[in-house]
Chains A and B, each alone.
Chain A
Amino acid sequence: MATTVLAPGSTRTYRRSALYEWLTTTDHKKIGILYLTNSFLFFLLAGSLALVIRTNLALPELRLVDATTYNQLFTMHGTTMIFLVLMPFLAGLGNYAVPLQVGAADMAFPRINALSFWMLPLGGVLLFSGYFFGGVAADGWTSYSPLAEAKYSGSGTDLWIVALLLIGTSSILSSINFLATIFKLRAPGMTLLRMPVFVWTVMVTSLLIMLATPVFTAGVFMLYIDRNFGGAFFDPASGGNPLLWQNLFWFFGHPEVYILILPAMGVISEVIPVFSRKPIFGYRAFIFATLLIGGLGFSVWAHHMFTTGSVYLPFFSLMTSLIGVPTGIKFFNWIATMWRGKLTFATPMLFAVGFLSTFLVGGLDGAILASPPVDFALHDTYWVVAHLHFVFFGGTMMGVFAAIYYWFPKMFGARLHEGLGKIHFVLMLVGAWVTFFPMHLLGLEGMPRRIADYSPAAGWNDLNTIETIGSFIIAASVLPFMWNVFVTLRGPRDAGDDPWDGYTLEWATTSPPPPYNFDHLPPIRSERPLFDLKYGHGARRAIAAESATVEGTHS
């Protein structure tokens, strides 16, 4: 285990309160931790909403809450999970790791970075403030018009719009920051094709955010104008078109789902090689696949609209079918990385393997939806709910937890306990499959989504009850994680620089790193600069030289 020796006098600290420090920081590492904390809190909130939803559906006609409240529940659950949980989780991981992985001292625009973060809790407060002001949004996170128009919905939708304008702006600013950092602040020697795969995924994700989110911004402004200024964008009676909303929304909405998965795939691409003790298999293929997903992702949006009767089905079906190929490339490359490796299963690797086995299902059940006739049967049913939860929960969230367990020692100098981590993983994996797999069956049987209750005659009781039990298993899984963080942060900070025998630059400095990140950088001649330093030609020479002179200074 290596310990970096910092230059003397470099650890002078100012005397000011920790609270002030956290509130005013522009340090990407602290901002990253702020993003993660904010996301986790909203994760608990949105997860609680999901528990109410699942409890309500456990038995037919339970009617624990009235229909409007139920509509609000899934609207807020979806909106919060996507915009206040998943996106910021990934932004937080990117914030923490990208400057370190490219060998930079901070992000390109640190103050804008801080602004980007603080817009999130503000947006979240606005979004939920409707509970105090006459109701929150209840039109689904997709907020289709005319249902979202002033005539058919309440003031909660206006709060939803303003909150999303804030959160969207936060995303766009943060994506500009990532791109400028990646383009301009890479350490000498780090060409684009020597960047870690995680940085590539953050780069492509940032491009997607930058190009897709503004279209959504335009759309929600239009909705606001319709609702509050007598506009007619989506009103057929005045010459507008309700489908214009859907096209604008999904033009953003589809790249959005790749925004939500690519960085998680990047994390998996960091974890699997380290815990297989091999390089990533097919680094360039990964880059190619990531770019392809990003590009193709702009051409498939109308597959969310196959049943509207207003879409040129063959084109969108073709593009949607093709986009499965690059994801397949990634899967084969991940497996090839593990193949003939020497695998160890610390918690990050458990979550990575959990990601692989769960996201696979989400990918396959989505591929079936690429066929319009099949989509006619399965659209707007629980099949889609299964698909989106397999990819977002079984995919993105598993990637997020893999990253948290992987980078926690770098952030705080202590590794999360393995025993609690394993319990967390098992409960989450089992909970995910028990909750979301039966939804495929319900969708096939004809249960539509977004319904507050269902008829006992439909025969959907048993599967719904099973799913509700699963959702409480998921809820339970969060507890060992929270306890783990609490206990670990109170324990010794003895992880050292490089607890996992990693490859990339973040492991070449202290845990946590100093404010300026690096005292000195190893030479960068490949995508695994630290591996090269430890095991490459230079390392063997250094080991030989060292053992020939004074004994080493550490174990």
Chain B
Amino acid sequence: MTGRTEALPAPLHGARQGIDTALVGMLLFIASEIMFFAGLFGAYFSIRAEHTVWPPAGFKLDLALAAVLTAILVTSSFTMQYAVSRIRKGDRTGMIRAMTVTIILGVIFLAGQLYDYSSLGFGVSSGVYGTLFYTMTGFHGAHVLGGVIGMSIVLLRGVNGQFSARHHTAVEAVSIYWHFVDVVWLGLFSTLFLLR
């Protein structure tokens, strides 16, 4: 009400706020999403265990492109976290800039993924390997898209003057979500491209 946003008032004596309820909700949601991907990974490993030759003959992946995409996504996690650290200090402008970079990196990742799909020599109906590859990376891509949309909404709110050092739950929430998306990609990259 007074317009001061820098110093947080001391909490009431003995009162413990703990983590914001909305963040609890986001963490629980991410837990459920982890289990969703666990189902996909479980399918991958159980099918893989039944094959002596894996990937089956004729299935080639573009490791170089995937490595570049990995670097892009990991970088975007750093920029997202930077955005969070900026708004925690009350620097809305810094947050907006860092989030914009994050969103751009996310879009580049998606574009790169689509390019990868178009240049691969197999599809979802090319036997179980193709089905697994496209399903796993496809659902991950859908989650990236969801994150990009979420971040864009938060960015728009920031541009419209919302968020301060004290009130920026949505920024924290999308940041946690974005890191989750990144970690899932690291799992996918290691499993599909490195471990094979």
Contact = CB atoms under 8 A, between A and B. Distances in A.
- Per the CB under 8 Å rule, do A and B touch in the complex? yes
Interface of A: 108-109, 172, 175-177, 179-180, 183-185, 210-219, 221-222, 225-226, 229-233, 235, 238-241, 244, 247-248, 251
Interface of B: 18, 21, 24-25, 28-29, 31-33, 35-40, 42-43, 46-47, 50-51, 56, 123-125, 127-132, 135, 139
Contacts of A219: 39
Nearest to B49: A241
8 contacts: A176-B32, A214-B38, A215-B39, A219-B39, A232-B125, A239-B128, A244-B43, A251-B39
Contacts of A109: 25
Nearest 9 pairs of A and B residues by beta carbon: A230-B125, A218-B39, A239-B128, A214-B36, A215-B39, A214-B35, A231-B131, A232-B128, A176-B28
A205 to B, nearest CB: 14
B184 to A, nearest CB: 13
Given A184-B21, A232-B131, A248-B42, A241 B32 contact: no
A239 B127 contact: yes
Given A211-B35, A215-B39, A233-B43, A185 B21 contact: yes
Given A232-B130, A238-B127, 14 more contacts: A175-B28, A176-B25, A180-B25, A183-B24, A184-B21, A211-B31, A225-B135, A226-B131, A229-B124, A230-B123, A232-B125, A239-B56, A241-B46, A244-B47
A175 B167 CA distance: 26
Contact of A244 (B18, B32, B46, B56): B46
Contacts of B42: 215, 247-248, 251
A506 to B, nearest CB: 22
Contacts of B18: 184
Contacts of A185: 21
Given A232-B128, A239-B129, A214 B33 contact: yes
B169 to A, nearest CB: 13
B131 to A, nearest CB: 4
Given A210-B32, A239-B51, A241-B47, A231 B25 contact: no
A241 B39 contact: no
Contacts of B21: 108, 180, 184-185
Nearest to B50: A241
Contacts of A240: 47, 128, 131
Counting chain B CB atoms within 10 Å of each CB, which of A213, A217, A232 scores highest?
A: A232
B18 to A, nearest CB: 7
Counting chain B CB atoms within 10 Å of each CB, which of A213, A238, A247 scores highest?
A: A238
A206 to B, nearest CB: 9
Contact of B135 (A221, A230, A248): A221
Given A218-B39, A218-B40, A238 B33 contact: no
Contacts of A214: 32-33, 35-36, 38-39
Contacts of B51: 239
A210 B131 CA distance: 26
Given A108-B21, A240-B131, A217 B125 contact: no
Contacts of A179: 24, 28
Contact of B28 (A210, A212, A225): A210
B25 A108 contact: yes
A217 B39 contact: yes
Contacts of B28: 175-176, 179-180, 210
A122 B18 CA distance: 37
Nearest to B28: A176
Nearest to B51: A239
Counting chain B CB atoms within 10 Å of each CB, which of A226, A238, A239, A247 scores highest?
A: A239
Contacts of A241: 46-47, 50
Contacts of A215: 35-36, 38-39, 42
A200 B154 CA distance: 35
Contacts of A232: 125, 127-128, 130-131
A473 to B, nearest CB: 41
Contact of B32 (A177, A211, A226): A211
Contacts of A217: 36, 39
Contacts of B25: 108-109, 176-177, 180
